[in-house]
Amino acid sequence: MKIKKIDFLTLKDFDRDDLIELVDLAGVVKKNPGKYKKVLKDKNIALLFDKNSTRTRLSFEAGISQMGGNAIYLDSKSLQLSRGENYSDTAKIFSGYLDGVVIRTFDHKIVEIFAESSSIPVINGLTDSYHPCQILSDLFTIKELGLLKPDLRLTYLGDSNNVTNSLMIGLSKMGIKITIGCPAEYSPNPSIIDYCSKIDGSNVILENDPVKAARDADIIYTDVWFSMGDADSKDKINKLSPYQVNKNITGHAGSDVKIMHCLPAHRGEEITSDILDGKNSVVFQQAENRLYAQKALLIYIYKRL
């Protein structure tokens, strides 16, 4: 008998044991790429993307194909959504034709409507509020580095955004301390901080001094200062420039500090090229791991159906 479908909208719905299982599974997938080649046999999974994508699109398309499935790339402009059909009706139509959908869009409410209205698994490939697939891959990368443990000191520097939200939730679920270094006006969403504060073992620290935030960090993580859809602002750049990940900032961390960035990077803005390409950077390992984390997520979902 089939069990209830699993949606992957945020990390809020998954506990520590779930995340550990997913991270461990990503490692198995990476070491044994052919082991799960039939998990998605005869499965058709749509990628409904309203935001540009490189890593999310490629990792899902390649992962679905490598496991025997068929990925169908779509955007709202090419569907009747562009002529007024609502998301609830569209979700029901998708359910009749498909076995799942990965959505990358703006308003998080869209993935919630799809999940409520469809009978197939819905995966959040990114919204303005959350990026859970990225953080699942990040946790796997941190484990590969041998750093996924309670005494890890991870610092995020820069603008608070969907990645920051999911990073705080993911690390809090794992009982790992995270320091957010940013100007007060670019602090994380208070509701996310409040949510994390209620998780046993969570430790989210806000620090407005970038040097203090970076001091003795094992990992320094950053992201672009302007997310997709945001307008450029000289004032924002000026306020965030002290939080640029550069040689000066990383010099306050441990000598073996690892550098993470979810990409794409605006070189010379939130991070300098010498740091992004430097010996301590694990950015491209992090990017490659999106494939294994995405495959692990698909296995986790479809092996239960």
Same domain, 151 and 125: no
**Tens place of pLDDT per residue across the chain (305 aa):** 355 799 999 999 999 999 999 999 999 999 998 899 999 999 999 999 999 999 999 999 999 999 999 999 999 999 999 999 999 999 999 999 999 999 999 999 999 999 999 999 999 999 999 999 999 999 999 999 999 999 999 999 999 999 999 999 999 999 999 999 999 999 999 999 999 999 999 999 999 999 999 999 999 999 999 986 677 789 999 999 999 999 999 999 988 999 999 999 999 999 999 999 999 999 999 999 999 999 999 999 998 76
Owning domain of residue 180: 146-281
- Do 185 and 88 fall into the same domain? no
* 267 shares a domain with 157: yes
> What's the CATH code of the domain at 178?
3.40.50.1370
Per-residue pLDDT, 4:
79
Claim to verify: residue 43 and residue 164 sit in the same structural domain: no
- CA atoms of 205 and 190, how far apart (whole Å): 12
Predicted TM-score (pTM) of this structure: 0.96
Domain count for the chain? 2
Q: What pLDDT score does 59 carry?
A: 98
3 is a domain residue: no
**Is the previous residue joined to 188 through a cis bond, with omega within 30 degrees of 0?**
no
Q: What is the pLDDT of residues 100-120, one digit of tens each?
A: 999 999 999 999 999 999 999
Instruction: State the Cα–Cα distance between residues 292 and 63, nearest whole angstrom.
Output: 8
Q: Are residues 59 and 152 in the same domain?
A: no
- Write down the pLDDT at residue 3: 57
- Whether residue 111 contacts residue 122, with contact meaning beta carbons closer than 8 Å, is answered with yes
For the chain, what is the largest distance between any 2 Cα atoms, rounded to a whole number of angstroms?
58
Two structure tokens written together for 204 = 């989210």
Give the C-alpha separation, 257 to 278, whole Å: 11
Q: What is the pLDDT of residues 45-74, one digit of tens each?
A: 999 999 999 999 999 999 999 999 999 999
What local confidence, expressed as pLDDT, does residue 1 receive?
37
CA atoms of 121 and 7, how far apart (whole Å) = 5
The reply to whether 127 and 176 lie within a common domain is no
- Determine the Cα–Cα distance for residues 160 and 185; give it in Å rounded to an integer: 10
DSSP of 19-58: HHHHHHHHHHHHH-TTTTTTTTTT-EEEEEESS--SHHHH
Does the residue 193 lie in any domain? yes
In a domain, 137, yes or no: no
Residue 29 has a pLDDT of: 97
Regarding whether 195 and 122 lie in a shared domain, the answer is no
For residues 226 and 255, membership in a common domain is answered with yes
